[in-house]
Each structure stands twice: as C-alpha cells, then as structure tokens.
Amino acid sequence: MKAIVDRDECIGCGLCEATCPEVFEMDVDNIATVIVEVIPGEYEDGAMEAQDECPVTAITVS
C-alpha cells in the first residue's frame, strides 16, 4: 500500500500524524507528508484510519 497527501487540500490539522506517525508527519509548512514509500503491513490499518478521519479528504491510501 501507498499513501498520497493532496498538499493543496491539506489544512494542517495534524490528525494523520497523531493517528499514524509511522506513515505521516507535518512538514515545516505544517502540511502533512508521507514519510514511507510503501506502508509496512503493521501500519496499514493506521494509515487507512488516517485517510478515513482526514476532515478534508486530503489523504488517499491504496
């Protein structure tokens, strides 16, 4: 699985990083970034939860 953050949509709430810090972090501009190229299996559920909880649907996990 891979995650993508739409930087134009991200509002910098930090929920994704709080939900799955193994996959997401906030950059210096307070925009979410993906810190792994391929999501390790043990973090897939957390990444999916971050996608589902994102208030502006800026995250896509596939």
Q: What is the pLDDT of residues 10-30, one digit of tens each?
A: 999 999 999 999 999 999 999
- Torsion, Cα 34 5 8 31, to 10 degrees, reads -30
Q: What integer pLDDT is reported at residue 23 of this predicted model?
A: 98
pTM of the model as a whole: 0.95
Q: Find where tokens 């994704």 sit.
A: 16
Mean pLDDT across the chain: 98
pLDDT score, position 2:
98
Q: Where do the structural domains in the chain lie, given as residue ranges?
A: 3-61
50: confidence class by pLDDT, cuts 50, 70, 90: very high
Return the CATH architecture of domain 3-61.
Answer: 2-Layer Sandwich (3.30)
Q: In the predicted model, what is the mean pLDDT of residues 41-60?
A: 98
Q: What percent of the chain has pLDDT over 70?
A: 100
For residues 20 and 40, the answer to whether their CB atoms sit within 8 Å is no
